[in-house]
Structure 1
Amino acid sequence: MIMTDETESSVPLPPDIREGLTCWALTGGLIGCDVQVVGVAEALGFTPELKHVSPPPPFRWLAPYCPAPPMPGIAAPWPDLLIACGRQAVPFARAIRRRTGGRTYTVFLQDPRIDPSNFDLVWAPAHDRLEGPNVISTLVSPHGLTRAKLAAETARIAPEVAHLPHPRVAVLLGGTNSAYTLSEEAAARIGTELAALAEREGAGLMVTASRRTGAAQEKAIRERIAGTSAVMWDGTGLDPYFGYLGSADAIVVTCDSVNMVGEATFAGKPVHVIEMTPERPHKARKFRQFLDALYVQGAARPFQGHLERWECEPLNATNEIAQAIAAGLTQHIMRLRKG
């Protein structure tokens, strides 16, 4: 079932259901997974206990198909709700559901690579094309960004960007991954295009890089936008990422992160995607399907070196997923209470 995307960011459970319930957010420690599980848990009104698993070989190599080895911190008392994400978390989520006799309502985010019936509910992005009676799908991924956080971060960084002219453009830089390589030459080209954009349109640039961008690549971009109306985060102090999204009139983002592009669409601004040539086309297939779906929906367009203006609705999968969990968890708790 593919669910639509809305902008609300809180789906509190009924008080009589929510009272006394505990929630674990379980991942293998990847930041992208942490963002998803915590974001969904918070949308349900929980402050989850975040747990990381790091199984030793050969369990690490064999996940998600192997049993779960003993792991510090993964023990009773078990939570009422478990939200897990990532390949390394699969054996533990499955084991917890079995050990509790199904009392723990178990949710898995992303394709678990095993039968979804091992969980109470599975969310997977639409481009994964996963199907099942307990599977829901959305175009973009869940995250921890809310309207309140966006407004607060926009206000926090306002003095830092007050001197920039409009239109203000948030530039979100990813980097090398399994599908794409951001070389110094590619970074230099991006920097040149951004400088030309700022000059031609009188735009103010707000640029932030990720851990994957690379020091040399950041330097190449910084050098080329020098002299334009631009600020580029140097990696110190609080990350202005959300503040840039809220302050922007338009957004430019590299294509290498489904999470980053999805967060950009939450802002409700025109999103321009810098398409990178994949080094490993078979690894980029899902990125291609994801981006093409965004383009068809009108949530984003390829970056052509200039800003385009169009009406676009904000996308927010977090609320849709939380609604599905709330409905399922409510029924689950009511059945348990009836005995």
Structure 2
Amino acid sequence: MTRPLRIWAVSDGRAGIANQALGLAEAVGRLVPCAVTAKTVRWRSAFDWLPAALKAPAMLDPASDPVAPPWPDIWIAAGRATLPLSIRMKGRGPLVVQVQNPRLDPALFDVVVAPAHDGIQGDTVFEITGSPHRITPGRIADEAQAFAARLEALPRPRVAALIGGRSTAFDLPDTHAADLAAQIAQAVEAVGGSLMLTFSRRTPEAARAIMTRRLDALPGWVWDGTGDNPLFAFLHFADHILVTEDSANMAAEAASTGRPVHVLPMVARGPSGKFARLHADLAARGAARAFEGELESWRYEPLAETDRAARAVIEAWSARGQPQVVSGRS
């Protein structure tokens, strides 16, 4: 082609979902010339309950970004809200790439970039460890500069802690939050290091307050959610990364840094088999180990699963009109 590929990265706008579509689109753009446009779509509340097959673009919330011709060359979408549009888009020209497990027949899409721990199968499925994301060494180094004055001088080893919260599979009740805080503090104090901690939107307020009270006295920074998000800077400056077991996204992002990833236990409240499979995969690849109270050091090849998925998307694009073989984890 004589012009850059046009890519739409489509989601419902929630950061954790949008970053998966946008991260994969940006990874394609690192390999071939592209123009990436982020699109946010939401359904009117009266129609949100309908199954994907019955939804039509006229039912979209008026605040949604326009979804109309001219169509992109590649449509990359993530999240349940995008499924009806992705299904309609197939056959209209764009290569339709769906991120995550769509819980629908994968043949409805040209490529499904799915977490291996979900165990879905199909000729259009390309499995990766974890989920696509926007973490790259260059990006976290660039974004870390805004926080360098505060973080560079912290005692080493510097420990980044990414704390999740309540979900269908896990919970963070007060007593467990207190136990985790005590274990983290003991580990950091034992090595004379410092702590850089951030909470997720799912962290219960009580657990957040308990952990902050216990950990705020350590050298470092417990981010309170105000101002610019220092997550990328934490990852850049960290010598160790602690991640609660409730988030596949956080674990995959942490494993892309090459730093030791220590998995913090949560309280189970539902089926958690897929998370166990993810952590077993990360452990097999040398990236992660269960946290047992000490900060061990080890080395591994940083995971570059988003780039690997991007190569599969380009392969599928190049093979338009020919039999597509994009499944597997090669």
- TM-score higher than 0.5: yes
SS of the residue 1:140 aligns to: coil
- Once the two structures are overlaid, the 10-residue window that deviates more, 269-278 or 49-58, is 49-58
What's the counterpart of residue 26 of structure 1?
A: 10
* 1:84 equivalenced with 2:84 (yes/no): no
Tell me, what secondary structure is at the counterpart of 2:198?
Answer: strand
Deviations 1:78-132, CA, capped at 9 Å, x for gaps: 222101111221111111224x2xx111111111122212111111110111122
Matching residue's letter, 1:93: S
Q: Establish whether residue 42 from structure 1 lines up as the match of residue 32 from structure 2.
A: no
Aligned residue for 2:52, secondary structure, equals: coil
1:172 is displaced (CA, Å) by: 0.8
Cα distance between partner residues in 1 of 2:99 and 2:234: 27
- Tell me how far 1:193 sits from its aligned partner: 1.2
| 2:153 match | 163
SS in 2 for 1:211: coil
* Of 210, 214, 222, the match for 2:212: 222
Give the superposition deviation at 1:65: 4.2
Q: Which residue of 2 aligns with 1:272?
A: 262
- In the alignment, which residue of structure 1 is the partner of 2:327? none
1:140 aligns to 2:130 (yes or no): yes
Deviation at 1:330, TM superposition (A): 2.4
Q: Matches of residues 124-203 of structure 1 in structure 2 within 5 Å?
A: 124-203=114-193
Q: What is the match of residue 297 of structure 1?
A: 285
1:39–1:142 CA contact under 8 A, matched in 2: yes
Residue 314 (structure 2) aligns with: 326
RMSD of equivalent CA atoms: 2.0
CA shift in 2, pair 1:63/1:285, >3 Å: farther
Does 1:238 find its partner at 2:228?
A: yes
Q: Is the 2:238–2:259 contact (alpha carbons within 8 Å) kept by the matching residues of 1?
A: yes
> Are the counterparts in 2 of residues 251 and 270 from structure 1 also a CA contact under 8 Å?
yes
Q: Which residue in 1 is equivalent to 2:89?
A: 96
Once the two structures are overlaid, the 10-residue window that deviates more, 242-251 or 60-69, is 60-69
Cα pair distance change 1:232/1:43, threshold 3 Å: same
The yes-or-no answer on 1:53 pairing with 2:41 is: yes
Cα distance in 2 between the residues matched to 1:227 and 1:30: 32
Moved more, 69-78 or 257-266: 69-78
Q: For the residues of structure 1 that align with 2:213 and 2:178, how far apart are their CA atoms? A: 9
Structure 2 letter corresponding to 1:94: I
Q: Which moved more, 1:203-212 or 1:47-56?
A: 47-56
Structure 2, unpaired ranges of 5+: 324-330
Give the Å deviation of 1:69: 4.0
Deviation (angstroms), 1:264: 0.5
CA distance in 2, matches of 1:261, 1:33: 15
The answer to whether the 8 A contact 1:26-1:37 is kept is: yes
Q: Greater CA deviation, 52-61 or 220-229?
A: 52-61
2:9–2:77: 8 Å Cα contact kept in structure 1?
A: yes
In structure 2, distance between residues paired with 1:230 and 1:115: 47
Aligned residues: 314
- Per the alignment, in what secondary structure is the counterpart of residue 96 of structure 2? strand
Structure 2 counterpart of 1:276, which letter? M
Write the deviation string for residues 46-92 of structure 1: whole angstroms up to 9, x where unpaired: 34222222223564223334343423522222222101111221111
When normalised by structure 1's length, the TM-score is 0.87
Deviations 1:26-57 (A, max 9, x none): 22333222001111111122342222222235
What one-letter code is carried by the residue in structure 2 that aligns with 1:51? K
The gaps in structure 1 that reach 5 residues or longer are: 1-15
Q: Give the AA of the match of 1:49.
A: T
1:333 deviates by: 8.5
Any conservation in 2 of the 1:26–1:53 contact (CA below 8 Å)? yes
Instruction: State the Cα deviation string for residues 261-316 of structure 1 (Å, max 9, x = none).
Output: 11000110110000112111x2x221121112212222100011111111121112
Report the 3-state secondary structure (helix = DSSP H, G, I; strand = E; otherwise coil) of the residue aligned with 1:60. coil
User: Does the residue aligned with 1:238 lie in a helix, a strand or coil?
Assistant: coil
Deviation at 1:210, TM superposition (A): 1.4
Q: Note the C-alpha offset of 1:332.
A: 2.5
Greater RCO between the two (CA within 8 Å, min separation 6)? Answer: 1
Letter of the aligned partner of 1:37 in structure 2? A
Return 303-312 or 58-67, whichever deviates more: 58-67
SS in structure 2 of the partner of residue 197 of structure 1: helix
